[in-house]
Every structure is written in C-alpha cells, then in structure tokens.
C-alpha cells in the first residue's frame, strides 16, 4: 500500500443509501452502506423526507463502522469527500452537513464531488484489478439517473452525450414492477421473474430509436412511452394470477430497456472511436443488461467494465476515490460554503472549487442536443434500434409521446393517467402512512358498458331497463375513479346508462296513459292487458 497516498473519507447520501467509504489513494479500505429501502417499500418509491431522516439516523453508525473496518483513526484522515449533487436535495444536505462538520472539527480539507463522476471513478480502485483507461464511455443507470457520458478525463473532460428525457431506467423498472403487482423495488423483481419469460413474446417500444431521433436524440433515452405501453397492455390483457404471463411481460419489457441502453452505449463507443465502456448504477445489476452489453461489446471489440454490485450501486468509496484523484492532481479543496445541488451536470467533477465560482450557478439546463451524424453505416445497431415495428404492441408514438419528443416534452394525457395509476396509490408522507391501496378492478368499465347496453335494450319494455341502466351509471362512476380505466369506455357506459334511465322513465310515464298504452301495444312494445 502506498502510505504517501491521501487517506480520504467519502460520504454519500444522494438517494436512499447512507454510505461512508475510506480509501488510501486508489486502495479501498472500507465501504459501509446502510439503505433505507425498507422504509420506502410501502410507498412504492423513495420518499425524499423519509430518506433524509434515515440518513440523519444512520450516519453516526455508518461513519463509525467505516472507520473501524478501515482500521484507521479518524484524525489520520487527510480529506473529507462528499456527494454534493446530483440527488435529492434534502438527502444531499445531510451528507454535505456531516462532511462540513467533520472537516471543521478535524481541520481537514473538504472535497464536494459529483455523484455521477463518482460512479465512473470507482473504476480507479486498484482492488478492481485493472487500471481505468481513458477515454471511456460510461452508461450510468439507476433509479435516479440514466446518463451516457464520454470521459476523456475524470476531472476536466467529462462530456454528457445523452440523458433520459423523462423517466430514469430504474424508475421505469420500479413502475412497471408495480403495474405487474411485484414488490418494490421492481428492478430486481422483474429481473427474477423474467428468467422464466420469453423476451421476444411482446415487442414493446424502444424509445428514441427511430431514424428521425438520430439527429437530436441519438444518445438520449425515453422510458415513459415504454412504461405506458406496458401498463396499457396490462390493463387490456393482464391477469395478476397468471405467472407465465407476468414472466413474459417482464422479460419483454426488460429486453426493451436492455436493448436500448446497450445499443446506444455501444453506438457511443464506436461513433467516438472509444473501445471502453463502463457500466454503473443499480440497473447495471440487471442480468439482461449485462448479457446484452457483454455480447454487443464483444461483437464491437469494446472492453466492458462492470464493477461488483457493492460498488455499482451508490456508495461512499466512489466519492472518496474521486476526491483522492482530485488531490493527486493537486486540485484545491472545495469552499466551505459549497451547498448541495440537486441537479448538476456530470461535466463538473468537483463542486465549489475554491478558485472557481461557476459552481454557484450549477443548476444546469438539459444537456446540449447531440449533433453527430447518424450511424447508417452500422447496420447491426440500426437493426436492433429499429426492431419494433410490424409486430409491435406499441401505442402510437404520437399518443404516448415517448418516441419523438423534445427535451422539455410534456407527458401525454395517457402517460399522466398511467403515472397517476402507478404512483397515485402511494400515500404521501402527510397522509396516513399505513393506508393500504384501495383495490380497484380494471374490468369494471366493461361491466358498466354491458349494463348500459342492456339498459338501453330493455328501456322501451315498460321501463324495465331502468335497473341495468342505473347499475350502468353506478358502476360507470366507480370505474371512472379508476386511473387505469379507459376513459372512452367509461364515457360511453355512462351515456348509455343515463340514456337508458331517461328512456325507461319516459316510457314508464307515457305507458301509464291509456292512449299511449294502446299505441305501444299496437306497435308491439307492450302486451295487451288481460
């Protein structure tokens, strides 16, 4: 071990993992992670306030355990590193506050670093075997981010090639997991059930992979249209008790995500002449993503690096080793007034640089659009990107908006409806935390519709139709409250129901008058009395 290398303690609290890592230069000494995932499970997603509170509670113990495992005295530490962004604002603040406190108390320099660059820097850890060679392309995919980076230099040469324009890949996994009735987080669950499924069974859409997307969204991602397509498909054909069906849908969805992620990542490598690809983030644990990445990397002669899972997901070691690299390069520490920045571009490895006040306004707009030429000369990539088409169960892209939208695109009405359906069941923190989601049945609109038809059909028969018509209206209104209910079916059912009631009542009233009765009898609508 190089005793001259700086001993750095790194703190990571950008999402739901409280982590402290300790490195000496590029040598990993300790990496302790405590996750608050269990506390978020019942909400079906990370609740920022819960995450922040969990960081406060976990920090002292995680810190102590990291110091114990590293076998160092805290006074020996040369620098304190911390994730300053991007991430959840409240969660980041806990880490930044803790790091500043330690730096002040121990009189050590503070290095506020970029979480995304940390995911790549983890490859510097010598315990990983091979040295990180640059340039490299990095694909970072987690519940919070989906970024494709070109790394020419870790400190000064990170270029954002593309990002998601809507949902992060892990977020899509979690939401689709919820649609399929799997527990949170959906990613590992989908990975597990997909093992028994057929990835080619359903051709779900591959967002931003059409030829027209190549000019502006070649390296961007969109998973919202895919999520909506799966939810819509499930709404129409799903059966929560059919495990084989769940497996096929999970496998087909997973394949769609893996296909797009790996095709764009390998495309970035070959288009930039960079034969190295680094994967990072929780989704890099996905078996299909790994398999497809390995296969395509081998095909294209790209050296693929995937850190072990403990260093793939959020951790303090990656933050510590990035700071150690900054120190090795002679970079000045961050200012003590550096604040947490929830949205910050990966192009800034260090935040709050003492000599650099740019970082005061690092809340960056979406990255510049990609302008390199499309990969027409790469049939294998184009072939994969264009796979969905004739056999696709995809909704019309113009309906879901998932395929051809600009950076600041608005979700379509259907996407909002699906999103509401998936996330609307999550109680907010202020609501009762233990409230169970109300089960609602997707078949209700169809029942309502059938009753409406029955009501109309029977309504001339002396108002008999009033009963199914009233039932049609009642069930229609219940179905209307269901976010996954197809609006058109509910509307038609309600119109039929009200019409049935109206006609039944009118027929009932007029039939009571002798003349109309006689007319109705002669028209065959009523049986003659007696």
Interface with ligand KG4 (CB under 6 A): 15, 142-144, 170, 173-174, 185-188, 191, 281-283, 285-286, 313-314
Q: Which stretch binds Zn ion (CB under 5 A): 141-149, 335-343, 418-426, 513-521?
A: 141-149
CB of 340 to Zn ion, least distance (A): 15
Question: What does each C-alpha distance from 86 to 39, 119, 289 come to in angstroms?
Answer: 22, 12, 24
Identify any residues that bridge with 8 across adjacent strands, giving them in sequence order. Answer: 23, 79
User: Could you give the count of Cα atoms lying within 13 Å of 188 in the half-sphere of its Cβ?
Assistant: 9
* Distances 143 to 188, 356, 452, 529 between C-alpha atoms, Å: 12, 31, 44, 72
- Using the minimum distance from each CB to ligand KG4, give the nearer residue, 174 or 370: 174
- DSSP-assigned letters across all residues of 143-187: SS-EEEEEEEETTTEEEEEEEBSSS-HHHHHHHHHHHTTPPSSHH
Cis link prior to 63 (omega < 30° from 0)? no
To ligand KG4, the closest distance from the beta carbon of 451 in angstroms equals: 41
State residue 18 phi and psi, 5-degree precision: -95, 120
Minimum distance of Zn ion from residue 142's CB (angstroms): 4
Cβ closest to ligand KG4, residue 190 vs residue 453: 190
What letter would DSSP give residue 142? S
Positions in 287-316 near Zn ion (CB under 5 A): 314
For residue 341, give the nearest of 321, 362, 326 by alpha carbon.
362
Q: Is there a cis peptide before residue 185, judged by omega within 30 degrees of 0?
A: yes
Minimum CB distance to Zn ion, residue 345 (Å)? 15
Residue 494 contact among Zn ion, ligand KG4, none, beta carbon within 5 to 8 Å by kind:
none
Residue 56 CB, nearest distance to ligand KG4 (Å)?
19
The least CB distance from residue 325 to ligand KG4, in Å, is 21
Residue 238 site contact among ligand KG4, Zn ion, none (CB < 5 to 8 Å, cut-off depends on kind) = none
Neighbours of 92 (CB within 10 A): 27
Specify the stretch interacting with Zn ion by CB under 5 A; choose among 104-112, 139-147, 237-245, 293-301.
Answer: 139-147
Round to whole Å and give the CA distance between 276 and 206. Answer: 24
* Backbone φ, ψ for residue 470 (5° rounding): -65, -40
114 scored as a contact of Zn ion (CB under 5 A): no
Q: Which is nearer to ligand KG4, 141 or 274 (CB)?
A: 141
Q: 142 vs 504, which CB is nearer to Zn ion?
A: 142
Residue 109 binds which entry of ligand KG4, Zn ion, none, with Cβ cut-offs from 5 to 8 Å by kind? none
The β-bridge relationship of strands 276-280 and 303-305 is: parallel
What lies within 8 Å, CB to CB, of 375 at 6+ separation is 214, 218, 267, 270, 271, 381, 382
Q: How far is the CB of 373 from Zn ion (least distance, A)?
A: 31
- Whichever of 7 and 141 has its CB closer to Zn ion, that residue is 141
Q: Does 83 engage in binding with Zn ion (CB under 5 A)?
A: no
- Judged by beta carbon distances under 5 to 8 A according to partner kind, the member of Zn ion, ligand KG4, none in contact with residue 316 is none
Q: How far apart are CA 42 and CA 20, in angstroms?
A: 26
Contact status: 142 vs Zn ion (CB under 5 A) = yes
Q: Considering the complex, what minimum distance in angstroms separates the CB of residue 62 from Zn ion?
A: 17
Q: Which does 455 bind (CB under 5 to 8 A by kind): Zn ion, ligand KG4, none?
A: none
**What residue 170 binds from ligand KG4, Zn ion, none (CB within 5 to 8 A, per partner kind)?**
ligand KG4
Q: State the DSSP string of 414-476.
A: HHHHHHHHHHTTSPPSSS-TTPPPPP--TTHHHHHHHHHHHHHHHTTTTTTTHHHHHHHHHHH
* CB of 85 vs Zn ion, minimal distance in Å: 11
Which residue's CB is nearer to ligand KG4, number 93 or number 285?
Answer: 285
* 18 near Zn ion, judged by CB under 5 A: no
Number of residues near Zn ion (by CB under 5 A): 2
| Tokens 């184009």 found at | 382
Q: Does 147 bind Zn ion (CB under 5 A)?
A: no
86 vs 455 by CB, closer to ligand KG4:
86
| Nearest CB to ligand KG4, comparing residues 108 and 178 | 178
CB of 295 to Zn ion, least distance (A): 25
Which residue's CB is nearer to ligand KG4, number 142 or number 359?
A: 142
Q: Shortest CA distance to 187 belongs to which of 37, 306, 49, 315? A: 37
How far is residue 216's CA from residue 214's CA, in Å, rounded to a whole number? 6
**Where do contacts with Zn ion occur on this chain (CB under 5 A)?**
142, 314
């Amino acid at each position: 071990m190089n005793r001259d290398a700086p001993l750095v303690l790194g703190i990571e609290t950008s999402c739901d993992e409280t982590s402290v890592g300790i490195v000496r230069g590029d040598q990993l000494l300790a990496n302790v992670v405590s996750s608050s995932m269990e506390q978020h499970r019942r909400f079906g997603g990370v609740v920022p306030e819960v995450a922040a509170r969990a960081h406060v509670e976990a920090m002292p113990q995680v810190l102590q355990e990291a110091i114990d495992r590293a076998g160092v005295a805290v006074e020996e530490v040369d620098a304190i590193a911390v994730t300053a962004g991007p991430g959840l604002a409240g969660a980041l603040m806990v880490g930044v506050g803790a790091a500043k406190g330690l730096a002040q108390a121990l009189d050590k320099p503070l290095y506020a670093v970029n979480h995304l660059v940390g995911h790549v820097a983890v490859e510097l850890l010598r315990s990983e075997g091979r040295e990180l060679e640059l340039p490299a392309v990095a694909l970072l995919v987690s519940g919070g981010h989906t970024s494709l980076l070109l790394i020419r230099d870790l400190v000064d040469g990170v270029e954002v090639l593309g990002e998601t324009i809507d949902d992060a890949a892990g977020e899509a996994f979690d939401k689709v997991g919820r649609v399929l009735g799997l527990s949170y987080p959906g990613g590992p669950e989908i990975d597990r059930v997909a093992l028994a499924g057929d990835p080619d069974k359903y051709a779900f859409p591959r967002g931003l992979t059409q030829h027209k997307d190549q000019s502006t969204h070649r390296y961007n991602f969109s998973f919202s249209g895919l999520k909506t397509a799966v939810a819509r498909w499930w709404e129409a054909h799903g059966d929560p008790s059919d495990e084989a069906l769940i497996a096929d849908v999970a496998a087909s969805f997973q394949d769609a995500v893996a296909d797009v992620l790996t095709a764009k990542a390998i495309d970035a490598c070959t288009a930039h002449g960079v034969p190295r690809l680094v994967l990072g983030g929780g989704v890099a644990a996905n078996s299909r993503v790994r398999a497809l990445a390995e296969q395509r990397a081998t095909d294209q002669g790209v050296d693929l690096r995937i850190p072990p899972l403990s260093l793939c997901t959020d951790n303090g070691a990656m933050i510590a080793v990035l700071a150690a690299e900054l120190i090795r390069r002679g970079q000045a520490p961050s200012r003590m007034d550096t604040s947490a920045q929830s949205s910050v571009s990966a192009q800034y490895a260090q935040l709050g640089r003492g000599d650099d006040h740019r970082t005061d306004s690092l809340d960056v707009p979406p990255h510049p659009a990609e302008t390199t030429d499309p990969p027409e000369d790469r049939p294998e990539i184009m072939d994969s990107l264009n796979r969905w088409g004739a056999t696709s169960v995809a909704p019309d892209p113009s309906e879901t908006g998932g395929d051809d939208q600009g950076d600041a695109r608005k979700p379509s009405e259907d996407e909002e409806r699906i999103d509401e359906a998936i996330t609307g069941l999550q109680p907010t923190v202020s609501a009762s935390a233990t409230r169970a989601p109300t089960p609602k049945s997707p078949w209700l609109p169809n029942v309502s519709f059938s009753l409406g038809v029955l009501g109309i059909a029977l309504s001339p028969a002396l108002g008999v139709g009033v009963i199914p018509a009233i039932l049609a209206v009642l069930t229609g209104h219940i179905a209307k409250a269901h976010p996954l209910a197809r609006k058109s079916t509910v509307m038609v059912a309600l119109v039929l129901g009200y019409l049935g009631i109206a006609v039944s009542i009118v027929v009932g009233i007029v039939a009571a008058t002798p003349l109309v009765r006689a007319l109705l009898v002669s028209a065959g609508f009523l049986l003659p009395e007696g």
